[in-house]
Amino acid sequence: MKRAFVLGAAVLLALIVMAVQPTSSVLHVHLDVDSGIEDYGTVKVHYSVGASPHAYELVISIMPVDELDGLPDIIIVDVDGRPGRPPAVTGLYDHLITDMKLRGLMPNVTIADLERLDLKAVSKSVMVIGEAVDMDDDAAAEMMSWVSGGGRLVCIGPGSLPFRQELEGGEWTGREDFLRVKYRELDYSADAVEASVYAKALSLQTSAPLYALEKGSLDDLGAVTIGHIHHGVDGDLVTSAMLPLGDGRLVLFGGPITQPFTTSGDAAISWDILQLVTSGGLWSTGEPEFTILPMSVDARDGDFTTSISGDMVVMAYTPRSYVPAYGRTVATTS
């Protein structure tokens, strides 16, 4: 009896251990793009996806872009110079790595110390600054010219943008060519939130940072809202925005990285960054088009048309973690 019990327990444990092993990374979505044959100026996207264990919703986004290179390296900059890596940095790193692996991508995500960063060696990378940074004007100007030369810089939270002017006593101070960006404490109201087209197309999750960006100051700079817009009597606030700067792009998130991590923390922001990278959002030349497809457990395929032309990135994904589905293709149409 005792032996049978021990044997049964061991077998049960072995079965459980086998069952919880990661067996698949993702439900692959096959995507094909055809230039419209019947309708001039349209593009037909064909998708097909296998059966899944659960019902879910599939989102397909089509992003017009100005570059069709492969996925870039991502560098997370550790700016604080203190012993060890801060949780903001390691949190972003861990989530980016795992989210990329789940999509079957080979992640090339690294953490680099600010003082050892060689900007010339990382010209084609996406750089992420997740904390407030204190940089001298010359170094900040160098980073600004790196972005203008085609770099992609993501800055999270107040103080994270190196080349910024400061508002002191109602007056802007700092170098004239630096950017005037204002953050304000967000008084969240579920009824006053509006998702931008980017946020809907990419299911961006960062929706409630402690400090969000003032939309007015971003509009002056010609920035595009990519996150959520919070309407308020003191003016609208946005959770994230993208700003063309020369040949590059600057993405500003509200912040700082804090809890809850599903709406304001590392999990949400790393998801958003990865969505912007894989969808082509960081190279977009206009707003994306998208469709949301409710999926049953059965395999499914179908078509839909879009009016986007030129270079584009088509991405299929699911915002629900219980059915990981992903597909991506790039296309050029005339």
Residues contributing to the site for another protein (CB under 8 A): 1-2, 5, 13, 16-25, 53-56, 80, 82-87, 90-91, 94-95, 97-99, 102, 185-190, 193, 207-208, 210, 256-264, 267, 320-324
Tokens in use for 312?
A: 């584009």
Coil vs helix vs strand at 257: coil
Minimal distance, residue 202 CB to another protein, in Å: 17
> Considering beta carbons, is residue 131 or 311 the nearer one to another protein?
131
Dihedral over Cα of 95, 98, 68, 285: its sign: negative
Residue 9 vs residues 17, 19, 21, 68, 198: alpha-carbon distances, Å:
12, 15, 19, 54, 51
> Considering beta carbons, is residue 86 or 149 the nearer one to another protein?
86
Residue 208 vs residues 32, 68, 96, 174: alpha-carbon distances, Å:
36, 32, 20, 29
- The pairing of strands 166-168 and 289-295 is unpaired
Minimal distance, residue 26 CB to another protein, in Å: 9
Minimal distance, residue 277 CB to another protein, in Å: 17
> Considering beta carbons, is residue 86 or 246 the nearer one to another protein?
86
Minimal distance, residue 7 CB to another protein, in Å: 14
Rounded Cα distance between 258 and 86, Å, is 12
Burial (CB count <10 Å: 0-12, 13-18, 19+), residue 193: middle
> Considering beta carbons, is residue 203 or 306 the nearer one to another protein?
203
How many CB atoms sit inside 10 A of residue 263's CB?
Answer: 17
> Considering beta carbons, is residue 172 or 322 the nearer one to another protein?
322
> Considering beta carbons, is residue 238 or 308 the nearer one to another protein?
238
Q: Are 107 and 101 in contact (CB under 8 A)?
A: yes
Minimal distance, residue 235 CB to another protein, in Å: 18
> Considering beta carbons, is residue 226 or 295 the nearer one to another protein?
295
> Considering beta carbons, is residue 195 or 221 the nearer one to another protein?
195
Burial (CB count <10 Å: 0-12, 13-18, 19+), residue 230: buried
Minimal distance, residue 184 CB to another protein, in Å: 13
The alpha-helical segments, DSSP class H, found in the chain are 2-19, 87-102, 137-148, 197-202, 215-221, 266-278
Coil vs helix vs strand at 128: strand
Minimal distance, residue 148 CB to another protein, in Å: 31
Q: For the chain, what's the residue count?
A: 334
Minimal distance, residue 162 CB to another protein, in Å: 19
